[in-house]
Structure 1
Amino acid sequence: MSGELEIIEAPEKVLSENFVRDVFYIVINCGKMLLESGAETYRIEDTMLRIASSYGIENAQVFATPTVIIFSLNDYALTQTLRIEERANNLEKVVAVNELSRRISVGMPLDQALRRMEAIHDSRFFPFWLTILSGGIIGMMFLLLFDGVAADLPAAFVGGAGGVFVMEGILRYTKVKFFTEFFAALYIALTAIFFVDTGFGTMLDTIIIASVMPLVPGVLITNAIREMIRGHLMAGIMKGTEAALTAIAIGAGVGLVFLMI
């Protein structure tokens, strides 16, 4: 005997095919919901890898951009490319998916995770009427923030709510975002001029600025900067470009009205 201790390697944990496919299904759908809800790409990649690792699946790879997710489980020959065509700002759904990820990390069973993921996917956190109402309230609040007068609050409410209504309504027929913000800003400028000309409004510029605030891509600009700081240059450039086009569309809509009068 040589006197040396022989190290016996622990047997690898074998996961069933159905189990792996269920985990794959959860991970890819969580990433899809995060990207569609406006989450940062680094958050999406980290969440997807954490969920896979929590269920014992290592050597997973994910690549996310604002328009596509590529997810692979290299040890199980599973790969899927998912194209994302619709994106919005739904931070409540982002929070819900993050909370699911945390529960999975502390031992949430797979069947419960499946049911919870599908419930989040099917849920509608913001009804259409609430979105429109929120646009009007935002317009009024920004009017006060910009030292507007109380007499202009109805104009700011109608402008903000109507702008969101026009934007969401056009999105049902076309996915070209430039046109949605353009026509929404056009409506807001016309509404503000109508209120001022009829004597129901006083400060035209303040009404317009406050009413277009629900259209301003504040979350998109913030995410673009955060992506750049974290080193996700492609995602940062794409989101920054989208934010710039949105700002141009808003300015073009308002500017066209002033050119016409």
Structure 2
Amino acid sequence: MVPTLGHLGPVPINTHDVLVGVGVLVAAVVFLLEVRRRRVTDERVWIVVAGALVGGALLGRLGTWAQHLDLRQNASFVEHWLYGNRSILSGLVGAYLGALVAKRLTGYRLPTGDLFAPAVALGMAVGRIGCLLTELPGTPTGLPWGVTLTPAEAAALRPAYGADAVAGVPLHPSFAYEIVFQLLIFGVLWWLRDRLPVPGELFKLYLVGYAAFRFAVEFARGNEVVFAGLTRPQLFLLACAPLLAWHVVRQARRGVYRGLWRDRRGAEVAA
């Protein structure tokens, strides 16, 4: 565990915040490269980016507010904004909605998902390093790569994670699993970026892939189980992911994904 990278005078440099910031910077560089490569010259695209950032920040923070069905048991919005958890899943939804609102306000009609998808995947891979170094790794495991907390590390995590933060027991490095996934899907998206005939489809494929992965990895994450053996992120995914899955199925039936296995000359490649 590396909660801080050092101190700037008396102020500690938070590892998680720094690496999330680096992840955002990496995503911005990839996005800019794609904007230049695709020769996007309409300056309204930057308003769409701003909308995505604002929407992601707002819903990423406030999307975890409703912890209890009895709303009186939840913290106030101000308390939750200052001290509450942040959610990648609700942040992605907020970014998507923020981009849609910005497009509607500016009249920008062109799809932007192809610009965002590789950038988000690589940025997430970097940002998750901060989670790996500062948060509870996951559930107990007998696998040889399990991460074992020291008594001091477990004590530091216990106020946030309670009895799940145990010392001397190998735990799933669930964030390492996600880092590997994000790097792999970044490679896939990079390969697909010029092969999909429908603009904007790339980001939807990323969301479907991440939703499936995240639902599975939750069993190793150690988040609180709240209903039917499932965590809040899993329940959220059960509510939202079927819409994405149906979109992909419908597009597949329309033949959108045919011809992906082509070489650069346009000839079919045997799968």
How does the TM-score come out when normalised to structure 1?
A: 0.27
Report 1 or 2 for greater relative contact order, CA contacts < 8 Å, sequence distance ≥ 6: 2
Which is helix-richer, 1 or 2? 1
Task: Tell which structure's C-alpha radius of gyration is larger.
Answer: 1
How does the TM-score come out when normalised to structure 2?
A: 0.27
